[in-house]
Structure 1
Amino acid sequence: MAVPIRNTVFDKIRDAGSLTDVDLYKILTKEGFTMAEAKFNKILLDLEILGLIKVSWITKDERRIEVFVEKEEVDEVDEQNKEMMEKDYEASFPGFEK
């Protein structure tokens, strides 16, 4: 089964962390993945819509591509509630002491 080109493009971006679209296109061409510019742009757009990458313009002809990392916010109240529930559960067993 062949791996979709979109997965290959995402893997190259993830391995690099961040790079320009020109550099990415050169890497793909060097490895034998030749495609039209329209298809390349469509793949980048699909990955951005899926929330996997972030594309921003550097200059008129060059874009910066980076892996999108969503920071997970920790709710302190939920963490405290979770800890209390765990302590109450453990305390419900007879003879349990910590």
Structure 2
Amino acid sequence: MTIPIRNTVFDKIKEAGSLTDIELYKILTKEGFGMPEDKFNKILLDLEILGLIKVSWITKDERRIEVFIVKEEVDEVDEQNKEMIEKDYEASFPGFEK
């Protein structure tokens, strides 16, 4: 079973963390994943739409590609509510002692 080229491209971006589209294209070509420029751009667009990468223009002809990192904020009130609900649920069983 072959791995889709989109997964390979994403893995290369994830390994590097941040690189330009020219560097990425050279890496892929060097490893035998040569492709037309329009297909390369389509793969980048697909990954950006999926929310996996962020593409921004550096110059007129060069783009910066980065892995998109989602930072989840922890709401302390929600955490306290979850703990209370769990404690109340556990305490609702007869013979339960903690």
TM over 0.5: yes
Matches within 5 A, 1:19-58: 19-58=19-58
Question: Which residue identity is paired with 1:85?
Answer: I
CA deviation after TM superposition for structure 1 residue 21, in Å: 0.4
Q: Distance in 1 between matches of 2:3 and 2:86?
A: 44
Unaligned regions of 5+ residues in structure 2, if any? none
Question: Which residue identity is paired with 1:31?
Answer: E
Matches within 5 A, 1:1-98: 1-93=1-93, 94=95, 96-97=97-98
Q: Distance in 1 between matches of 2:11 and 2:51?
A: 14
Unaligned regions of 5+ residues in structure 1, if any? none
Query: So what's the TM-score if we normalise by structure 1?
Result: 0.90
Q: Deviations over 1:22-63 (max 9, x none)?
A: 100010000011111111101000100111100001111111
Aligned residues: 97
Identity of paired residues, percent?
A: 84
CA deviation after TM superposition for structure 1 residue 95, in Å: 5.6
